[in-house]
Amino acid sequence: MKNQTQDALAMLKPDHQQVAKLFADFEALSDRSKVSKKRLADQICAALRLHTRLEEEVFYPAVRGPVDDDDLMDEALVEHAAAKDLIAQIEELDPGDELYDARIKVLSEQIAHHVEEEEGQMFPEVKKSEVDLAALGQQMAELKNSLAGAD
- pLDDT > 60? residue 45: yes
Q: Residue 70 belongs to what domain range?
A: 2-150
Query: Running DSSP on this structure, what letter comes out for residue 2?
Result: G
Condensed to tens digits (0 to 9), the pLDDT of residues 10-37 reads 999 999 999 999 999 999 998 889 999 9
* Number of other CB atoms surrounding residue 43 within 10 Å: 15
Q: How many domains does the chain have?
A: 1
Condensed to tens digits (0 to 9), the pLDDT of residues 71-93 reads 999 999 999 999 999 999 999 99
Q: Do 47 and 15 contact (CB within 8 A), yes or no?
A: yes
**pTM for the whole thing?**
0.91
Q: Name the band, by pLDDT with cuts 50, 70 and 90, for residue 1.
A: very low
Q: Do 103 and 91 contact (CB within 8 A), yes or no?
A: no
If one compares 140 and 151, the residue with the highest pLDDT of the two is 140
- State the Cα–Cα distance between residues 137 and 72, nearest whole angstrom: 21
Q: What is the CATH number of the domain that holds 145?
A: 1.20.120.520
Q: What pLDDT does residue 147 have?
A: 86
Q: What pLDDT does residue 151 have?
A: 52
Q: Do 94 and 34 contact (CB within 8 A), yes or no?
A: yes
- State the Cα–Cα distance between residues 59 and 133, nearest whole angstrom: 9
Condensed to tens digits (0 to 9), the pLDDT of residues 110-148 reads 999 999 999 999 999 999 999 999 999 999 999 999 987
- pLDDT > 60? residue 3: no
- pLDDT > 70? residue 4: no
Distance linking the first and last C-alpha atoms of the chain: 21
Q: What pLDDT does residue 94 have?
A: 93
